[in-house]
A = this chain, B = another copy of it.
């Protein structure tokens, strides 16, 4: 057994180092067990400390959970923003889908914390989670509106919001499927969603509607 000095549990680590460690552990545990199922003890252990340290740095379970959500949201937002610099509409959408799946693929835990228990189990923070999700959806809706205007589409504006919901849901669900098919490359995932969105959107935005006979 070689000494695995890198993993070794260090003592008296400065806050700037410990705090992220704790956040990471928290994200991991919250993602796996959900808010109620997660225990502060497990989180602390996962960070290599005892509970009082977690409380010293984050105050309470609620605040820790909030910190997780906020971090996850911030990171997703960053990823999408970078992808949003693309000028052309079609390419921008493609870049964003790529960024989204990259985020989901690399930070699976963060993404879980962000989406798990979203509207449910009403804690004092489900509000916060819902807001983060809402932001994403609004971003999509706005993107759709630009597409409509650019393409001279005839789709009524009021329809963009539910459409955005549907697309986001499709993306999340695809991401879930990805978890069980880890060999799929990012591009394949983004491509799938892009196809559904772009081709399907094509008809809609041009005013072609389906109607029951």
DSSP class of A's interface residues: helix, strand, loop or mixed? helix
- Among B34, B162, B170, the residue within 8 A (CB) of A166 is B170
Q: Does A159 sit within 8 A of B, measured CB to CB?
A: yes
**Residues of chain A having any CB pair with chain B under 8 Å:** 31-37, 91, 94, 112, 116-117, 119-123, 159, 161-163, 165-174, 176-177, 179, 181, 187, 191-204, 208-213
24 contacts between A and B (CB under 8 A): A32-B120, A33-B121, A37-B121, A94-B212, A112-B120, A117-B117, A117-B121, A119-B176, A162-B181, A163-B192, A163-B196, A165-B173, A166-B173, A166-B192, A169-B170, A169-B172, A169-B176, A170-B170, A195-B210, A199-B208, A199-B209, A200-B201, A200-B204, A202-B203
Distance to closest chain B CB from A92 (angstroms): 12
- Among B34, B179, B194, the residue within 8 A (CB) of A34 is B34
Complex Cα–Cα for A91 and B212 (A): 8
A177: nearest chain-B partner, CB-CB: B165
Which chain B positions have C-beta within 8 A of A121? 32-34, 36-37, 116-117
Which chain B positions have C-beta within 8 A of A168? 173
A190: nearest chain-B partner, CB-CB: B212
Does the CB pair A209–B192 fall under 8 Å? no
Given A120-B112, A210-B194, A173 and B172 touching (CB < 8 A)? Answer: yes
Complex Cα–Cα for A176 and B197 (A): 19
Which chain B positions have C-beta within 8 A of A212? 91, 94, 187, 191
A32: nearest chain-B partner, CB-CB: B122
Which chain B positions have C-beta within 8 A of A201? 200
Distance to closest chain B CB from A61 (angstroms): 13
Complex Cα–Cα for A173 and B194 (A): 18
Distance to closest chain B CB from A147 (angstroms): 14
Which chain B positions have C-beta within 8 A of A211? 191
Complex Cα–Cα for A120 and B38 (A): 12
